[in-house]
Structure 1
């Protein structure tokens, strides 16, 4: 092998690595594979805060819409809303800490 062959090998390797990095950035941009989308200039109103598997068929999902959370049970046969209008957890925790400190 001569230097031309090594040069082509290095250029091909750089091209493949670049394509892999580009595919990763595109997946992040569009939110593929569980990644959160990172579109610029657009704030999403609906997000999934947490998912907790209850059993093999049921999951508890905490959804956030604007600044309000909703707890939903997703099953194989039905979907049920457990609690609506849950406020931000951090502010209620801070209020509880302030009440305890005042007493």
Structure 2
């Protein structure tokens, strides 16, 4: 996975809350960082970098410009804008709530 660019969308443990307690997203990002991936996150509830494995995972404000190899949809917030996800974007949908996205793979 070395040098893969992965964007984690939605950090909180459940939709529509700004709470990182008990969220699996942090462990997932830790594993990705340790594997050598370049990781960013997109979540309108949070804007500061998140410390993971001795590094800070940046908040991405322009997700399309991040040019991710893979988008991991971790938490599907109702107010989250996903219009930037193109038909050629590979999306790993861990929420089962992203019907209609092109190249969507269910976790």
Q: TM-score scaled to structure 2, two decimals?
A: 0.21
Structure having the higher Rg: 1
More helix by share: 1
More strand by share: 1
Q: TM-score scaled to structure 1, two decimals?
A: 0.21
